[in-house]
Amino acid sequence: MRIYPLVFKHVFTKMDPEQAHHFAFNAIKIAQRAGLTKVARKFFAPAPKLNRTVMGIDFPSPFGLAAGFDKGATGILALSDIGFGHVEIGTVTGQAQPGNPQPRLFRLVDDRAVINRMGFNNEGAERVAARVAGARQELKSDYAGTRPVIGVNIGKTKVVELEDAVADYLSSTRQLAIHADYLVVNVSSPNTPGLRLLQSVDSLRPLLSEVGQLADKVAGRHIPLLVKIAPDLSDEDVADVARLAIELELDGIIATNTTIGRENLNSDAAKVEEIGAGGLSGAPLKQRSLEVLRQLRSLVPAEMALISVGGVENATDVKERLDAGADLVQGYTAFLYEGPFWARSINKDLERML
């Protein structure tokens, strides 16, 4: 019998979702600090069969944790220990900010989905950078073989005007790039006013170009650079982003972020309307995320990495994304529903499938 679903049903569903997230995440971090996850690492670790090289980086598994779960880089070691092949932290902004007013995280249990309007709540690039640096050093010393990978996802500070967005992203890049295994420019969250306007090619070109140049300069090495896009882009806009990625020789694209759509949900429509604005993630996003992945794979060269995220719940979903052309796959929302053994379960099932 699986214990976590019972805990989720009888304990976490009775708590505010954001409070439940902090409670569960803190429990994992406490276990790590007590040495428990390190002792159990062999139980959780992906099999060598799952190792793969993407963007010149060795990943212990194609499956990792999407940005949003660990915004402040406080649990990289713990999350690595429980089986994620990579942990993408953030979104981190140039300046610390509290995010949007609470409540700002809502469950749609009947849809295995979540609506969030967190608003990039984080402690700012300077403080987060120190944690990423420390975690990267510990991973290097702790893992004899292929170590888990750290991705860093950066976004725009809310109070910064759009015309100053490039400088804001560069501020984060200057502090974080040297510690990242790869860097992601997030222009697709629906929870920062105006942010998605940066997905237009004319806005993206200077942003990605300048971030990429600065990242390599401050790190003294090439930092793989990716852009994360929304599922709500039209197919024409997706194609425009693909062409720009080729033009700028980006290392990859992450598809997709949360959606502002509310179509075909099982949850009570009145409840969904009462929740209001925010990005929807989880199972309802599965089909569109897969469609965008397939479109991108048909447009970009094989050497350009595609990371697929959105509606990934199990190893079957992961394999479907890999078969559709993804180089790596990420999950997040199902982690809230499945619990701390989720990554291990996916890795074990993937090992059998592959």
Q: CB–CB of 255/326 below 8 Å? A: no
* Helix, coil or strand: residue 335: helix
* Amino acid letter, residue 87: V
Strands 52-54 and 57-59: antiparallel
Q: CB–CB of 318/311 below 8 Å? A: no
Q: Pick the catalytic residue: 80, 189, 289, 308?
A: 189
CA–centroid distance for 7 within its chain: 25
Find the angle CA(117)-CA(123)-CA(125) to the nearest 5 degrees.
110
Q: Is 332 annotated as a binding residue?
A: yes
Q: Is 43 annotated as a binding residue?
A: no
Residues 136, 138, 142, 144, CA torsion sign: positive
Query: Residue 71, class by beta-carbon neighbours within 10 Å (0-12 exposed, 13-18 middle, 19+ buried)?
Result: buried
Instruction: State how far the Cα of 8 lies from the Cα of 211, in Å rounded to an integer.
Output: 41
Query: Residue 278, class by beta-carbon neighbours within 10 Å (0-12 exposed, 13-18 middle, 19+ buried)?
Result: buried
Q: Is 266 annotated as a binding residue?
A: no
Q: Is 146 annotated as a binding residue?
A: no
What residues have CB less than 8 Å from 187, skipping those under 6 apart? Answer: 155, 156, 195, 196, 198, 199, 203, 204, 207, 227, 228, 229
Q: Is 85 annotated as a binding residue?
A: no
Q: Is 192 annotated as a binding residue?
A: no
Q: Is 52 annotated as a binding residue?
A: no
Q: Is 256 annotated as a binding residue?
A: yes
Q: Is 84 annotated as a binding residue?
A: no
**Catalytic-residue membership of 189:** yes
Q: CB–CB of 304/253 below 8 Å? A: yes
Q: Is 118 annotated as a binding residue?
A: yes
Q: Is 67 annotated as a binding residue?
A: yes
Q: Count how many residues are written for the chain.
A: 354
Q: Is 311 annotated as a binding residue?
A: yes
Q: Is 71 annotated as a binding residue?
A: yes
Q: Is 264 annotated as a binding residue?
A: no
Instruction: State how far the Cα of 193 lies from the Cα of 195, in Å rounded to an integer.
Output: 6
Q: Is 169 annotated as a binding residue?
A: no
Q: Tell me the binding residues for FMN.
A: 67-71, 91, 153, 186, 228, 256, 282, 311, 332-333
Annotated binding site: 67-71, 91, 116-120, 153, 186, 191, 228, 256-258, 282, 311, 332-333
> Which residues are part of the catalytic machinery?
189
Q: Which residues belong to the annotated binding site for substrate? A: 71, 116-120, 186, 191, 257-258
